[in-house]
Amino acid sequence: MNKIMMFGAREDEKEAALTWAKVNNVDITFSKEILKVETVEQLKGFDGVTTQQTGRLDDSIYERLSKLGMKQIAQRSAGYDMYNLEKAAEYNIIISNVPSYSPNSVAEYAVTAALQLIRKTHLINQKVEEKDFRWQKSIMAKEVKTLEVAIIGTGRIGQITAKIFKGFGAKVVGYDLYPNEHAEQYLEYKNSIEETVSNADIVSIHMPATKDNYHLFNEELFNQFKDDAVFINTARGSIVDTRALLKALEREKIAGAALDTYENESTYYPKDFRDKEISDSILTELVTRPDVILTPHIAFYTDVAVKNLVEGGLDAALSVIETGTCETRIN
């Protein structure tokens, strides 16, 4: 019977994994730890591995995996920026991801976060907790059907987000390096990011992190936003210069932000810091600001998505064990 190690295994993943193991006749070992220099030797005697890394993997891991006879790492997420693909290929380690496990989960969350900011629910909740039940201008909302929404990155998630906002009756505009015809049912393409954001009330980003878009959303770009616009990032933290975002909020250049991803998140998400100090002053400011809704990379986190991620990771690991490759390999 093939043996697969499931690193980074959470309680909520086990039911789907055990069902999969029974159907596929595979022995799965669960570990809460992630794959790292200190844990790689635990793979001795295993045929495959799936993991859910958030931080960058040390380059020395690939050689050690190869010496252990491992042929792959199956990442249980869409993002794979934590791997050195060339280094892995050098040691014949196939890296795979789960490219699409539920675009709806992220799109629905992006819309939820935008609605929270637009309807000011976080401020209303705060006032209700203080027993302040007055109607005041600071909690008066706008109606989405009167707004313009900018979608930057119009792939799987961006398109569903656009479709939902269109359902509200909003005007939806978009930008993508590679515009696609299908998206034009839901949005009107603009020629540049600057043009796309300039008239928008909600700006929601849905592109991968690449070398070219590091800190793409910087002071200059935030200056192009309308003063009462809100910014939603369910994509990747590195796309946004968080200091510049905080500055834009501070000088009321934009009205609010919902950040499901943060550029230095890997130290903190998804961990319990209730009894620990947070030494990152930017993160502390994000947590406490009333105009920021901060969430710990949770947009994907639905029952459907978790099942698809578990099965996607295990399918990829088993496919490499049995056939030497898999459909979702990246390198």
In the complex, what is the shortest distance from the CB of residue 93 to ligand NAI, in angstroms, rounded to a whole number?
22
| Footprint on residues 127-186 left by ligand NAI (CB under 6 A) | 152-158, 175-178
Here the tokens at position 296 are 């710990």
Out of 13, 148, 206, 236, pick the active-site residue: 236
Find out whether 195 and 171 touch, Cβ atoms under 8 Å.
no
Q: Site size for ligand NAI, by CB under 6 A?
A: 29
DSSP H or E stretch at residue 48: strand 48-51
In the complex, what is the shortest distance from the CB of residue 307 to ligand NAI, in angstroms, rounded to a whole number?
15
Here the tokens at position 250 are 């501070």
Binding status of residue 260 toward ligand NAI by CB under 6 A: yes
In the complex, what is the shortest distance from the CB of residue 206 to ligand NAI, in angstroms, rounded to a whole number?
5
Binding status of residue 312 toward ligand NAI by CB under 6 A: no
Binding status of residue 293 toward ligand NAI by CB under 6 A: no
Catalytic residue flag (residue 90): no
270 upstream amide cis, omega within 30 of 0: yes
User: How far is Cα 270 from Cα 305, in angstroms, rounded to an integer?
Assistant: 16
By C-beta, is 74 or 299 nearer to ligand NAI? 299
Here the tokens at position 9 are 């295994």
- Single-letter amino acid, residue 209: A
Measured in whole angstroms, how far is the alpha carbon of residue 321 from the centre of its chain?
A: 29
Catalytic residue flag (residue 215): no
By C-beta, is 121 or 296 nearer to ligand NAI? 296
The angle formed by the CA atoms of residues 282, 108 and 258, to the nearest 5 degrees, is 20
Find out whether 328 and 312 touch, Cβ atoms under 8 Å.
yes
Residues serving a catalytic function are: 236, 265, 297
Binding site for ligand NAI (CB under 6 A): 78-79, 100, 103, 106, 152-158, 175-178, 206-208, 210, 213, 234-236, 260-261, 297, 299-300
